[in-house]
Chain A
Amino acid sequence: MYKIVRKKELNSAVTLMEIEAPFVARKAKAGQFIIFRVDDKSERVPLTIAGYDREKGTVSIIFQKVGLSTELLGSLNEGDYIQDFVGPLGKPTDVEGKKRVCVVGGGVGCAIAYPSAKAFKEAGVETDVIVGFRNKDIVILEDEFKEACDNLYLMTDDGSYGEHGFVTVKLQQLLESGRQYDEVLAIGPIPMMKFVSKTTEPFGVKTIVSLNPIMVDGTGMCGGCRVTVGGEVKFACVDGPDFDGHKVDYAELMNRNTVYREREAEVRESHKCRMQKMAEELIK
């Protein structure tokens, strides 16, 4: 069992949790992920590591309540325990041998972009960060990002905060202004990663994206997370989750991520009953 030692609502839909998991904390690196399971009946869900404290033996995760399992996790509080928490899984972000990079984060993907930006900065790499949100209300980690980069560009789709426009608008501007990057790292919704890659392609800038396919075990034994990169089949859980953004088949990834959509909607309905039941039992 793994204890939730801290819980913080970052905005109405996004939650940060710090979980006691000393073995994971010992080895965790930016770009890697964990798999959690709330209780005996729950599914295994991957989440990127948002931070870690090796001395305290804790690992932070940031998640958006988008469905059954994240809602179930979000319903727990400090001092509660979750059944399983395994990691660190996947390959860490490669921070070696770069002079200047741009980290691009979209929405809750910023939670994943943050530790990578921090890792670049700590490795002595000059780091620009572009983060994008739909509107002012869902902005997260602004202060943290300021600490973890040289230049922060904050964008909102509706212009309610920071600069108006998508992250790609800013990225295009920077590249056109002649700014040189050894690498652009994009983390966020699939369309956003696709368009970031399209933006960098004409400039010939190496672009890495962090993919988020459906996973079960996360250790390479099922191939549920397989993606096509440069015409080759890769397992995101062991070969990734970071891949060359110019070579990823995004349409395929988007299609495969919807395979259980109907079932998920169904389960969410029936799950409400389960939450209700749990609540009633607690009142008793």
Chain B
Amino acid sequence: MANMQMTKTPMPEQDPNVRNHNFKEVTLGYTPEMAMEEAKRCLHCKKPLCVGGCPVNIQIPDFIAKVAEGDFAAAYEIITSTNALPALSGRVCPQETQCESKCVRGVKGEPVAIGRLERFVADWYRENVNAMPQKPESNGIKVAVVGSGPSGLTCASELAKKGYAVTIFEALHTAGGVLVYGIPEFRLPKAIVANEVEKLKAMGVEVMTNMVIGKVLSIDELFDEMGFKAVFVGSGAGLPMFMHIPGEELKGVCSANEYLTRINLMKAYKEESDTPILVSKAAAIVGGGNVAMDAARCAKRMGAEKVYIVYRRGEAEMPARLEEQHHAKEEGIEFMTLTNPVEILGGEDGRVNGMKCIKMELGEPDASGRRRPIPIEGSEFVLDVDTVIMSLGTSPNPLIRSTTPGLETNKKGGIIVDENEMSTRENVFAGGDAVTGAATVILAMGAGKKAAAAIDAKLQNK
């Protein structure tokens, strides 16, 4: 008998005024009872639309049926037959625009909490079984994966399952890409990412850190000297943008990438870490995406009394997930929308001591289809802040395209690929943000998966 409750089974969370002082995970996950109860809300549609909404096509009703029966191990097998990283995607996917947006239960009331159930199953498995996967029989064919973010990890996992000898090359000292340097611990615990990487290693994937491809080895050398038969480039979009306004060079101004890398990768929030971090009384985060929300919530946790999100469009236009906006507000982040910085002000000590902003109004839609913000003359005011974190977006790093002859990129620096994620270079495939520019974790995972299938087809002459 289906559970006809109109709303999702609530998921417990840390109290906002407690969690905004710690880096522990905000959402606490379902208990087995909650998961089984929520699973019973699924109507098991004959033609499940939710599956089409998932970029990696998880067999959603099938795994949910197993959850409803309490057979969590079977549910895990179903999910991982198509999705390599459920503990991650269950947490950071924007389900509201993907699987859950297609759920019929969402027509009247809330959709089935597919993301929460996926996360529950993955967490349950890790805590209760945590069997490392078997190493598949090797076919001896070497494939290189450049970058260990979501697209690279997924591509490596899919190829390893098929028996390829996969080596991941990562530039930083820890594998995970944005999952370790960008998304904070309170949204995605790093132990979970590390566990996924361990599983890959158990499958025979070699992970080489401190390897900046384009510097230490070129793509050509991966083929010619190292003997790789195909290369997947999942190097992401890590190059931060700045506004180029006066005062941006002052002490106390940094990119969200720098701020988050110091906190998440270098663990600057921990007492014992040697990496310093800006200490702020009042911080402004410029931008309205998920990265801006992450930076703002980190600043609050690092002790800032006032934290502002400064965004030039309105709240309705914010690209950040609604859930993240909601969490940020609960934690005391103040939203200053229709506001744009024009100058960062500093004292004689060279430190930020304010930010001059101008009020905006929305005009006609621009090329992106969003209404263009226009400054309101004479509306300037000074925001009292000592830290400014620029979260204006990122673009693909030029290192690989500038060192790989014949690899074509578009004018935004994204690698040009065909419908099979194949680039303009023979046997070089690419996916994720390196192709699209900054997008989502799950789209990167989908691209990694698709590329793995294409690499297999190419190398096996299928």
Contact = CB atoms under 8 A, between A and B. Distances in A.
A and B are interacting partners: yes
Interface of A: 23-24, 26-27, 37, 41-44, 68-69, 72, 83-89, 216-217, 219-224, 226, 228, 233, 238, 249, 252, 255-256, 258-260, 263-264, 267, 271, 274
16 contacts: A24-B216, A27-B215, A42-B274, A83-B173, A86-B173, A87-B212, A89-B212, A216-B262, A217-B171, A219-B171, A219-B397, A221-B240, A221-B257, A223-B257, A233-B249, A256-B249
Contact of A222 (B171, B211, B257): B257
Contacts of B394: 221
In the complex, the 6 A-B pairs of residues with the closest C-beta atoms, listed nearest first: A221-B238, A222-B258, A255-B350, A86-B210, A260-B276, A43-B275
B344 to A, nearest CB: 13
Contacts of A23: 211, 216-217
User: SS class of chain B's interface: helix, strand, loop or mixed?
Assistant: loop
Contacts of A252: 249
Interface in B209-226: 209-212, 215-217
Contacts of B254: 222-224
B216 A27 contact: yes
Contact of B210 (A43, A85, A258): A85
Given A221-B238, A223-B240, A267-B276, A255 B251 contact: yes
Among the interface residues B254, B274, B399, which one has the most CB atoms of the partner chain A within 10 A?
B274
B28 interface: no
Contacts of B340: none
Given A23-B217, A217-B171, A233-B242, 10 more contacts: A72-B274, A83-B173, A86-B173, A88-B216, A216-B266, A219-B238, A221-B397, A222-B240, A223-B257, A238-B398
A263 B272 contact: no
Interface of B: 171-173, 209-212, 215-217, 238-240, 242, 244, 248-252, 254-255, 257-258, 261-262, 266-267, 272-279, 350, 394, 397-399
B211 A84 contact: no
A223 B258 contact: yes
User: SS class of chain A's interface: helix, strand, loop or mixed?
Assistant: mixed
A242 B229 CA distance: 37
Contacts of B250: 255
A263 B173 CA distance: 24
A114 B441 CA distance: 45
A59 to B, nearest CB: 12
B115 to A, nearest CB: 28
B216 A217 contact: no
A157 B287 CA distance: 50
Contacts of A228: 249
A258 B250 CA distance: 11
A220 B399 contact: yes
B316 to A, nearest CB: 30
Given A84-B173, A217-B172, A263-B279, A226 B261 contact: no
Contact of A219 (B212, B251, B267, B278): B212
Contacts of A221: 238-240, 257, 261, 394, 397
Contacts of B240: 221-223
A192 B216 CA distance: 32
B261 A222 contact: yes
Contacts of A224: 254-255, 258
B173 A259 contact: no
A258 B251 CA distance: 8
Nearest to A251: B350
A41 B266 CA distance: 8
Nearest to A28: B216
Contacts of A274: 272
A194 to B, nearest CB: 16
Contacts of A24: 216
Contacts of A258: 251, 350
Given A219-B397, A222-B261, A256-B249, A84 B210 contact: yes
A137 B250 CA distance: 37
Nearest to A270: B271
A119 to B, nearest CB: 18
Contacts of A41: 267, 272-274
A177 to B, nearest CB: 39
Contacts of B267: 41
A135 to B, nearest CB: 31
Contacts of A263: 276-277, 279
Given A87-B215, A217-B172, A238-B399, A259 B251 contact: yes
A23 B225 CA distance: 13
